[in-house]
Structure 1
């Protein structure tokens, strides 16, 4: 049994690595990876257990009981993977996005599109309110995609609020915390703080992220248990709407060029042929299709494995 537990937590850490890699990319949510890999509900439930009650258990029953109460080993394995990924893969992801942007975005496009399937399979019952929630989710994601880039100063207050906002987006499948940071102009500052180990900036950002994580996860966990069908269909809508954000072929809108690297230019989605004609660069359509298909196979394969092995255990 101990060996099985160890193997499980290595798998949890691997999921954390994937979540961290996704969170580095502006437009992809780590929450999507958590959902695809079957740990989303456990993540929300574990985080929602952290609160004043934890201190009571710690005082009366000791460290071991408090650790079990918050599912501490699961959270430690997962967030260790996330942090290792962010600090080790940030440069690699940035390089891939710079050198092979269309292929990388196509992979994530396929990843998000395919992840709709496992979420829809988990909807207990479809109703009129579910369809309304789906439309609201699509509208929210599209509205976020229409945000205009701006820039806010990087001080302790904005870093704290940015961390809270980004982490809320991170655990909501389909909405990227990195994308939100990019739109408010603080993403380059956070990436620079990670690369240069600016401890003061990272501390304020992490404090905001922890506060936002504990509060928002409690709300989402409550919604998932109280209104599972409506909540899941809302998440499906968010994922479908977020496809607009990760569409691989984009051109900068005229007059929206950034000043240096501080503010991202406003981009519009175009067809591959229009991209090639306007930019003078190849559209890499074949490579993009292969990358998207690879992502679809990966997601559906993980879903099959989940139902083949984990699902059987749960339903016994």
Structure 2
């Protein structure tokens, strides 16, 4: 039975939220994908697509007609993936023109809103596997949180914009797109390539955009397979690491910091700023409550064993 058109519109809206997040330094599209409940579907679909491309190339000299690649593509949930990608692409172009300038003009208020959004969204990977966290899990989470905190404190660089560097930056940024907690646009800002990339998109610089896109394809092909394998085989531990990355990356969204990313104490419109933090958190909470109600079940506590929104069910088995 075909899914209603509203289903596709909602998935396009989810993609638009992800694309918008990628245009804001410090906000990870992967984080938004987690919040909207499509993260593992997105990673799984991307993994099947990259496998299909690899199989098509390897089968070409053998004259097999890409039969294995077609079989791999049949595993993709296109009803979810296509609207997501369309929404992401459209929102990214619009956000580059509309949202990025707002962030540059009012960084304190913009970062405050996103700080609250990411802070509240920590609940998603924390409770995602449904398993009880051990002391070792908390230590591992802390290690990655410290790593992300250190990475997001690096001052902006100034790298050249030759095609090789641009392609390399694209491969790094796309890894951040699919990894919650680390922002692709923030890494571009660290390399000094955020503004050149935004300008290239706005000015339709196809040479720059082409090199960047090539790097994205290569990076996605290499990284998404690894991430897909980790989610399938070490689901709980992968979500523990994601929680740490998201927690540490909050440093990049602290509303009070200077151009060199030094953290400052609160000042100027403190009440409004913390109000926006609360607003961002409230949006995430509302989305999570709506999602659980739409699924017809109440939110489950993180201490519930072997249950969770992202928990995998082995093939051939069912949960009672």
Does structure 2 conserve the Cα–Cα contact (< 8 Å) formed by 1:163 and 1:206?
Answer: yes
Instruction: Report deviation, 1:294.
Output: 1.5
2:149 matches 1:148: no
Matches within 5 A, 1:1-316: 1-4=1-4, 6-53=5-52, 55=56, 59-60=66-67, 67-123=73-129, 124-251=131-258, 265-273=259-267, 283-310=268-295, 312=297
- Aligned to 1:120, what secondary structure does the other structure show? helix
- Aligned to 1:109, what secondary structure does the other structure show? helix
Instruction: Report deviation, 1:310.
Output: 2.7
Give per-residue Cα distances to partners, 1:292-315, cap 9 Å, x unaligned: 112111111111122222364987
Q: Please say which of residues 103-112 and 137-146 is displaced more in the overlay.
A: 137-146
Distance 1:58 1:44, change over 3 A: farther
How many residues end up aligned between the 2 structures?
A: 292
TM-score for both structures, normalised by structure 2: 0.84
Cα RMSD, aligned residues only: 2.2
Distance 1:207 1:11, change over 3 A: same
Give per-residue Cα distances to partners, 1:59-112, cap 9 Å, x unaligned: 33896x654323334222111111101111212112211332211111000000
Instruction: Report deviation, 1:174.
Output: 1.0
Instruction: Report deviation, 1:247.
Output: 0.2
1: CA distance between counterparts of 2:140 and 2:8?
34
1: CA distance between counterparts of 2:232 and 2:43?
10
Instruction: Report deviation, 1:136.
Output: 2.0
Distance 1:61 1:169, change over 3 A: closer
Q: Please say which of residues 116-125 and 10-19 is displaced more in the overlay.
A: 116-125
- Aligned to 1:146, what secondary structure does the other structure show? coil
Instruction: Report deviation, 1:58.
Output: 6.9
- The corresponding residue for 2:301 is none
- The corresponding residue for 1:256 is none
- The corresponding residue for 1:262 is none
Distance 1:61 1:271, change over 3 A: closer
* Gapped regions of structure 1 (runs ≥ 5): 252-264, 274-282
Give 1 or 2: higher helix fraction. Answer: 1
2: CA distance between counterparts of 1:50 and 1:156?
25
2: CA distance between counterparts of 1:81 and 1:175?
21
* Gapped regions of structure 2 (runs ≥ 5): 299-308, 310-318
1: CA distance between counterparts of 2:198 and 2:171?
16
- The corresponding residue for 1:258 is none
Does structure 2 conserve the Cα–Cα contact (< 8 Å) formed by 1:111 and 1:292?
Answer: yes
Does structure 2 conserve the Cα–Cα contact (< 8 Å) formed by 1:58 and 1:66?
Answer: no
Distance 1:98 1:127, change over 3 A: same
Give per-residue Cα distances to partners, 1:150-207, cap 9 Å, x unaligned: 2111111111110000010121111111111111111111111001000011011011
TM-score for both structures, normalised by structure 1: 0.85
Instruction: Report deviation, 1:21.
Output: 0.9
